[in-house]
Structures are given as structure tokens and as C-alpha cells.
Amino acid sequence: MTFQNELINWYQINKRDLPWRHTKDAYIIWLSEIILQQTRVEQGLPYFIKFLENFPTVNDFASATEAQVLKLWQGLGYYSRGRNMHKTAQIVVNNFSGVFPNLHDELLKLTGIGEYTAAAISSFSSGEARAVVDGNVFRVLSRYFGIDTPINSPAGKKQFFTLANELLYQDDPALYNQAIMEFGAMQCKPKSPNCGICPLSQGCFALNHQQVNELPIKIRKAAQRHRYLNYFICQEGNQILVRKRKAGDIWQHLYDFPSIETVNESALNEENFISSVKESFGQNTVFTHLTSRKHILTHQIIHLRFFVLKNYIFNFNKQKELNWVSLDKLDELPQPKVIHDFILEYL
């Protein structure tokens, strides 16, 4: 049996029953594909269901506010996906009469849709012959064909993309694309793949050369950067001061609190730290430590400290991103996971 037929055969026996596999509706497939970018099926599935319930059609999605979209997205990470979906939904409504495109070249123009997602939506929705190349495909091809070009190098991406399209099963691109990804996710897993019961073991280069644990090759990224965010909780009766985060940093357009970033874990009684707080919030400012958190992102390790602030002064003309909200409305705002957890525990 050919490589392609082995994969398809394996898939038809072992595939999971996932909701987005029962439709060719480009809108629903788009929803699932964006949610599943860099996200495990188990983590994304509840969000897919929630989004489809709240936005049954692309028109419903486009009519929402960005804050409503981000609130639904809260906790899933990579929030630009949510913001880009909102933009794309509005483009589809305004420029495509609400009919979601299902051809590769049209999809690729939309924001948030790259090569992988354009191939996925177009093949699943319209049957277009475009090979998907995601983390699963890199791994399966790298191991089976013994390719040691780093998958995150430009040369590697080109090589794997070319090979994937040569291998694409022309009779049913959608079925083959599903099959190779599912095979990578469930059988040819990153750690301890089930080579003992693998239908492709005989022709697998990595297995036959004891390189299963070495392939695929990936270039290491730079170490994480440490950041120290000091948050200030300002409460007046039922009102609390929040900040909408701006472009150019993490958690764009999500809400947290006024803060001061320091270059290191400055001691609480350090003159330097005290004076910078007073410089920002007035000489009479008093702050007391409430709690601390550590939050780990892909490129940053964030050390958070929370303080209660009293006798402060804010210049709202200069800090337009600050706003008072009542405590009972606080949970309506989209928040970073670590901030949301803090609020649940302390407010």
C-alpha cells in the first residue's frame, strides 16, 4: 500500500469524532482552525462550542464588539487571533456579502489566515488540492523520510512544503490532509510514539535508523526574558481603576490595572522603588503589598506584585487608558488569565 493509502486507512479506523469534521461550511471550519492554531484539540474544543453558540453565523461574529470577542477568547491565549477574527468577520460581511470564502488565494488575503489555515479551510470546504503543513505534518514527514533540515528554518519550511504537496492525495485532498494531521497527533506523537503498532513502521526512516527521538530537528529559540510588573489596586467604594492595554506589548486590548514596571525584583523598602511610586502617584502615596504571582509566557517570565494604593493622584488627561469601573461590571471586561485569577481570589 502507498504512504497515502496507509495514512487514510489508519485514519478511517482511528479518527476522533470532532464537531468540525461534520461540515463543509467555511465559516465553521475557519472558527475551528483559528482556535486550534498552536492549541490542543482538548483545550480548543470548549471554545469552539462557545463561539459557535454565541456567533452561529459570520454576521453574528461581525456584529459583536471586540471586547465581547476577547471576553469569549479569555484564557485561550494568543489574543491577536481573536482580534484578527473580528476584523476578518467584518470584511467577509462587508466585501463578500457574508459568504465566507473557501478558495486558498482568497483566504490567504484575510487577516489571521496564513499558509496552513488557507490550505486547511480550502481543502476541507471546497476540496481544493492544497497540502496542509502544520506541526504534525512536519513531524510525520521528517521521521518517515528522514529529513533533518530544521523545520523552523526558511529552507526547512520550503522543503517540507514542497514534499507535502508532492505527496498530496489528489483524489481526496481533504481526507488525506485530515489523515496525516490526525496520524501525527495520535500515533506519530512528539513523545513516545506508538511505533510498535504503526502501519508505516516498515518504511519509516527514523525508526529504521533509531532517530525517532531526534526528528524532527528544531532550532532552539532565545531564552525567556524576565519582567517585573507591579500592579496597584485603587478602590473607591464600589469603583476600581482599570487600564486597557495598548498595542506594542503583551495582552493587547485586554484589561488590567495601573502598574509600574521595574528592571528587577526591587525590594519593597528600597528607596528607588518607593520614590518611583511616589513620582507616578504623588508624594503622599501609601502602598501595601497584597500578593504576588509568577506567570510564564512563551518569551517572557512575568513576576507580578499586587499592591493596595491609598492617597494617590492620577492625571487622567495623560493616562487616557485608565478608567473607573464598578466591581460588579469588572468581570465583563476581557482580562489576562493571571489577572482574572487574581480578581477571583482578592476582589
Partner DNA sequence: AAGACGGGGGA
Partner DNA sequence: TCCCCAGTCTT
Residue range at the interface with DNA (CB under 7 A); choices 32-40, 163-171, 261-269, 318-326: 32-40
Q: Which of 98, 127, 135, 199 binds DNA (CB under 7 A)?
A: 135
Residue type, 30: W
Helix, strand, or coil (residue 191): coil
CB atoms within 10 A of CB 64: 17
Neighbouring C-alpha atoms within 13 Å toward the C-beta of 246 = 5
Q: How far is the CB of 202 from DNA (least distance, A)?
A: 23
Residue choice 72, 86, 112, 228 for contact with DNA (CB under 7 A): 112
Which amino acid is located at 320 in the chain? K
Q: In angstroms, what is the minimal distance from the CB of 309 to DNA?
A: 24
Among 2, 154, 236, 317, binds DNA (CB under 7 A): 154
Tell me if 278 sits within 8 A of 260, measured CB to CB: no
**Contact partners, residue 191, CB within 8 Å, separation at least 6:** none
Q: Which of 29, 252, 204, 17 is nearest to 123 (CA)?
A: 29
295 binds DNA (CB under 7 A): yes
The answer to whether 101 and 110 have CB atoms below 8 angstroms apart is yes
Shortest CA distance to 20 belongs to which of 124, 107, 116?
Answer: 124
Residues 217-256 binding DNA (CB under 7 A) are 218-222, 225, 248-252
d(CA 309, CA 258) in angstroms, rounded, equals: 10
Under the criterion CB under 7 A, does residue 33 sit at the interface with DNA? yes
Query: Would you count residue 146 as binding DNA (CB under 7 A)?
Result: no
Among 163, 300, 308, 330, binds DNA (CB under 7 A): 300
Segment 53 to 92, residues that bind DNA, using CB under 7 A: 75-80, 84
258 C-beta neighbours (distance < 10 Å), count: 20
Helices marked H in 168-302: 173-186, 205-208, 271-281
Q: Which one from 33, 42, 236, 321 is the annotated catalytic residue? A: 33
Decide: helix, strand or coil at residue 38.
coil
Region of 53-61, 105-113, 193-201, 311-319 interacting with DNA (CB under 7 A): 105-113
Distance of CA 295 to the CA centre of its chain: 16
Whether 33 is catalytic: yes
Tell me whether residue 64 or residue 91 sits nearer to DNA (CB atom).
91
18 binds DNA (CB under 7 A): yes
Give least dist CB 278 to DNA, A.
28
Of 157 and 278, the one with the shorter C-beta distance to DNA is 157
**Residue 308 interacts with DNA (CB under 7 A)?**
no
Cβ neighbours for 341, distance < 8 A, ≥ 6 positions apart: 293
Interaction mask 174-213, DNA, x per CB under 7 A: ----x--xx-xx----xxx---------------------
Please give the positions annotated as active site: 33
User: Where along the sequence are the contacts to DNA (CB under 7 A)?
Assistant: 18, 20-21, 32-33, 36-43, 75-80, 84, 111-118, 120, 134-136, 138-139, 153-154, 178, 181-182, 184-185, 190-192, 216, 218-222, 225, 248-252, 295-300, 336-338
